[in-house]
Amino acid sequence: MVFTVDPNAGAFAVLQNKKQPGRDLAEEQAKSKQSDDRRADDGAVSVADHLKGDATGLESVRASLGHAASALEVASIAAGKVADLLSQLQEKAERGLDPDLDKSARAALNEAFATERDLINDVIRDADFEGVNAVKRGGQAITALTSANGRRAVEIPPQDLALSGEKVTLKPDQGLETVTAAADALEAIVASRANVSKAQAVFEGGGESISAQQSFITKLSDTIDAGVGNLVEPSLEKETANLQALQVKQALGVQTLPIANQRPQAILSLLK
């Protein structure tokens, strides 16, 4: 009696043919964190999309705060320069109080005074950042969004630091031609320095507010990004696990064929 062993080649071929399409499908699912055909039914993905919208809104807030911070930095630098110029002008005005200055010395001192005095308005004119100048006469307030819906904002009021203005009372034509003129100029300069110091404090406070908002927005954005990752990554991990399970199943299927075919061989050996 002759026994034949069926190697089950047909089944093996079918298994091999099914193997590659299955792997391709699983790999495609693993690569897709939020597939379009499951978006409507996947609650985690829906929440993730909502959080991503929040993150986009926060980017607008971040950009607005960054613009305000830059405009404020320019204004602060200008205010500091005006303060320095006023300090130098005060020194010259105090020297102009000396009644013993001869005519030529007073003329030279007055010329140097006028040069530094006029620099104040030059500084003010150049303190512009993308159309925002918070230190000129009639200047713009520095504003920034602090919420994605635009309902909250921080605003730093402008500070007029131009000559003969609200803060700097020194006039564009004031000089040191005489002791009396020097005394008048000195009085205006002392008052102006006090006012500019207050303006600098306003800018400093505004800078602290903007910096605090930037820090908050950064932390909030990082938290949202982490939340999106926590929602989406489990889906990716699940698809990856499914892929690995399928690969193991396919490998076991291939190994089962020779094991099954060993049984007829064992029976055949007993009958020999």
> Is the model's pLDDT at 271 over the cut of 60?
no
- Cα–Cα distances in angstroms (integers) from residue 146 to residues 64, 159, 209, 222, in the given order: 8, 22, 10, 16
Contact 168, 82 (CB under 8 A): yes
Nearest to 202 by CA among 105, 75, 113: 75
Q: Which pair of structure tokens corresponds to residue 219? A: 């932390």
The per-residue pLDDT for 241 is: 61
pLDDT digits (tens, 9 = 90+) for 174-211: 999 999 999 999 999 999 999 999 999 999 999 999 99
> Is the model's pLDDT at 78 over the cut of 50?
yes
pLDDT category of residue 269 using cuts at 50, 70 and 90: low
User: pTM of whole model > 0.85?
Assistant: no
Helix or strand or coil: residue 149?
Answer: coil
Contact 246, 23 (CB under 8 A): yes
In this structure, the number of other CB atoms found within 10 A of the CB of residue 212 comes to 12
Helix (H) or strand (E) holding 225: helix 179-271
Nearest to 146 by CA among 89, 70, 69: 69
Range of weakest confidence among 129-138, 143-152, 255-264:
255-264
**Domains delineated in the chain:** 43-227 (1.20.1330.10)
The per-residue pLDDT for 220 is: 76
Check residues 201 and 251 and name the one with the higher pLDDT: 201
The per-residue pLDDT for 210 is: 95
The per-residue pLDDT for 261 is: 58
pLDDT category of residue 217 using cuts at 50, 70 and 90: confident
pLDDT digits (tens, 9 = 90+) for 26-76: 556 555 655 554 554 454 444 444 444 444 667 888 999 999 999 999 999
**Dihedral of CA 174/178/184/190: which sign?**
positive
> Looking at residues 3-31, what average pLDDT do you find?
52
Check residues 19 and 181 and name the one with the higher pLDDT: 181
Q: Which pair of structure tokens corresponds to residue 49? A: 């999309």
The per-residue pLDDT for 3 is: 44
**Average pLDDT over the chain, rounded to whole?**
79
Q: Which pair of structure tokens corresponds to residue 59? A: 């980017």
pLDDT category of residue 151 using cuts at 50, 70 and 90: confident
> Looking at residues 104-121, what average pLDDT do you find?
98
Task: Give me Rg for the CA atoms of the chain.
Answer: 40
| Orientation of helix 179-271 relative to helix 43-96, angle to 10° | 160
